Structure 1
Amino acid sequence: MIELIVSDMDGTLLNEKMKVSEINAKAIKEAMKQGIHFMVATGRGFTEAKPLLEEVDINCSFITLNGAQVYNEEGHVIQNIGIGKKTVHEIVSEIKKRGLYCEMTTSDGIYSDNKAKRIESVASLLYETNPDTTYKMAVVLAAARLEIMNINYVEDYEQLVHDESIEILKIITFSDDGRKVLGPLSEELEKSGNLAITASFVNNIEINNINAQKGIALEEAAKKLNIPLENIMTLGDNFNDVSMLKVAGYSFAMENAEEEVKTYAKYRTTSNNNHGVAHAIKLALDDNLASAKAPEVIKSTKQKN
């Protein structure tokens, strides 16, 4: 019996327009009417995530920043897991040494040290996820989106490192060359043993405290709600979703999910552009999960969180 549904956002709940479709919203509301809890688990920060759910009149709790922060339905922070300042300095040095751009999400909001690069990173995401949009239009759309988002700009991230009042929760870095550049960086950062390195798209890696993972945060939330893990349904598409796909009794991978990520899910659903969340919820509510059963596959020997 499913008592809690937990969905990723980008590539899962959101379509290529970065919106929650009416069909997905309707399915979520129907599940909630039946007494099923709904929660979002995302790599986004709260101020980036909540407005997209408010647009479709859904109020829920959030696991944000891959598990570094958890918010209740009233929008209050109930958990913070940050990265040590010495480690932050080392991470940024490694990123800058490779000539890459990065952003930080902190207890005081999102910070960037380059507005042009910030727009470029959002434009690249919009361009890659929406083939009907030209890159020029993606830049225009990105600039418009940034105007309504609360982004803070600093000249140097060392300002944040030395500010004792600010806790750094996640660092994200980008490269249009994808894994070719980001793979070696990930391997270097993983040597510390105290970081969780994941990705939400092929052009980024997301860096958190080793204890800031969606699966860990979900387990804690489940305990507070007194819901067994076997009664939880999770949906995701990328490597930052693996930890929650692994712990849930009902785990769904999107049709558009990374192939390795699919190996961690028990079930399959349609793509994020074809209302995959709604499709999965309908199968679950209609007790028709057999039709979504994933084929037997050999799990990769390299575990990714």
Structure 2
Amino acid sequence: MIKLIASDMDGTLLNNHMEVPEENIKAISKAQKAGVEFIAATGRGIGHALASLDEANIHVPMILLNGALVLDANRDVLFSVPIPREKAFQIMDMLEEAGIYFEIFTAKHVYSENKVYRIDFFSSHLAEMAPELSPKMAIAATAERLTILPITYVKDMRQTVIDNNEEILKVIAFDKNGPIKLQAMTEKLSTLGELAIAASEASNIEINHENAQKGIALAQYAESKGITADEVMSIGDNFNDVSMLKYAGTSFAMGNAEPAVKSYAKFVTDTNVENGVAKAIEQVLE
């Protein structure tokens, strides 16, 4: 019997407009009423995750930043896994030398040094996800959305985390050329050791401590509740979801998932724009 359902957000729980469809909301509520716990498992930080979950009135525990931070339903920290500061600064140096834009996540903040690039990148990305939007509409929609998603623009991210005495939990790098440039960077970063490097989309790489992975965090959370892997269901669409797809006794890849990701899941559901999460939940409840 399934006692815990873990779902990725982007490309999974959310549609292409970064919203939780009504069908998914109803399915989560139905599962909860049946005594099944739901936990969101995302690469997002707390502010970005809550922007979508609160809008859908979904109040659940969260595995954030790919497993670097886990909160209970009351938003209290259960545990965190930071990247050592010296190594985080090495990562930032390497990305800057390669001319790759990146942001850093702490428990409470997302920091960036380049607002113009961020808007340009995400408007282009939104235009690809929602082709009905004109370039101007995509830029306007991105600017509006980014005012909702909390991010702090600073002149010097390194000095900011030092001054605020914050731990760096994740570094995310973006490049429009996608794997062409990011694959080479992944190989270079891997030489630093003790890192988990995955992607939530083709145009990014997400860098965490090797122990900050969704599957590890999900296992710790389940064990704290007395739940075994066979009683866990996971749903995801990209490579940062693989660890939890491998851990859970029941696993679903989205219809829009990368082909290689589907090979790790026991089942495949519909896409994120076809309410694949709701259909997977309904299948299990039945």
TM-score normalised according to structure 2 size: 0.97
Equivalence for 1:4 = 4
Structure-1 residue corresponding to 2:88 = 88
What is the CA deviation profile of residues 240-287 of structure 1, one whole-angstrom value per residue up to 9, with x for unaligned ones? 00000000000000010001011100001000000000010111111x
Counterpart contact for 2:109–2:151, Cα < 8 Å: yes
Matches within 5 A, 1:86-165: 86-160=86-160, 162-163=162-163, 165=165
Report the Cα offset of residue 100 of structure 1: 1.2
Secondary structure of the corresponding residue to residue 163 of structure 2: coil
- Which residue is 1:256 aligned to? 256
Name 1:294's counterpart in structure 2.
Answer: none
1:19 alignment partner AA: E
For 1:27-106, list aligned pairs within 5 A. Answer: 27-106=27-106
Report how far residue 154 of structure 1 moved: 1.1
1:158: Cα distance to partner?
A: 2.3
Deviation at 1:24, TM superposition (A): 0.7
> CA offset at residue 157 of structure 1?
2.2
Identity rate of aligned residues, in percent? Answer: 47
Secondary structure class of the residue paired with 1:63 = strand
Tell me the CA shift for residue 192 of structure 1: 1.7
TM-score normalised over the length of structure 1: 0.91
Confirm or deny: 8 A CA contact 2:232 2:248 kept in the other structure.
Answer: yes
**Aligned counterparts of 2:27 and 2:161: Cα–Cα separation in 1:** 43
Deviates more, 1:154-163 or 1:139-148: 154-163
Distance 1:215 1:116 in 2: 35
Change (3 A) 1:211 1:113: same
Name 1:186's counterpart in structure 2: 186
Residue 238 (structure 1) shift: 0.3
2:10 aligned counterpart, secondary structure: helix
Partner of 2:219: 219
Q: 3-state DSSP class of the match of 1:246?
A: helix
Counterpart position of 2:273 = 273
Question: In structure 2, how many angstroms separate the alpha carbons of the residues matched to 1:160 and 1:107?
Answer: 14
Deviations 1:154-179 (CA, angstroms, capped at 9, x unpaired): 11222135336111111101111000
Q: Is 1:244 aligned to 2:233, yes or no?
A: no
Distance 2:21 2:269 in 1: 16
Give yes or no for contact 1:213–1:243 (8 Å, CA) kept in 2. yes
> How far is 1:150 from its partner?
2.0
1: CA distance, partners of 2:141 / 2:280:
30
Cα deviation digits, residues 43-99 of structure 1 (max 9, x gap): 000111123122222210000000000010001111111111111111111111111
Q: Which amino acid aligns with 1:219?
A: A
For the Cα contact (< 8 Å) 2:69–2:107, is it kept in 1? no
SS in 2 for 1:251: strand
Contact 2:81/2:211 (<8 A) preserved: yes
Q: CA RMSD in A?
A: 1.2
Deviations 1:165-198 (A, max 9, x none): 1111111011110000000000110112211001
For 1:101, the aligned partner's letter is Y
Contact 1:12 1:236 (8 Å CA) reproduced = yes
Tell me if the contact between 1:85 and 1:161 (Cα under 8 Å) persists in the aligned partners: no
Aligned position for 2:25? 25
Alpha carbons 1:82, 1:169 under 8 Å: kept: yes
Assess, with a 3 A threshold, how the Cα gap between structure 1 residues 164 and 148 changes in structure 2: closer, same or farther: closer
Secondary structure in structure 2 of the residue aligned to 1:102:
strand
How far apart, CA to CA, are the structure 2 residues paired with 1:141 and 1:247?
Answer: 37
Matched position secondary structure for 1:58: coil
The equivalent residue for 1:177 is: 177
Question: Is contact 2:51–2:149 with CA below 8 Å preserved after alignment?
Answer: no
Partner SS, residue 273 of structure 2: helix
Q: Check the 8 A contact 1:88/1:161 in 2, yes or no.
A: no
Shift in Å, 1:236 = 0.2
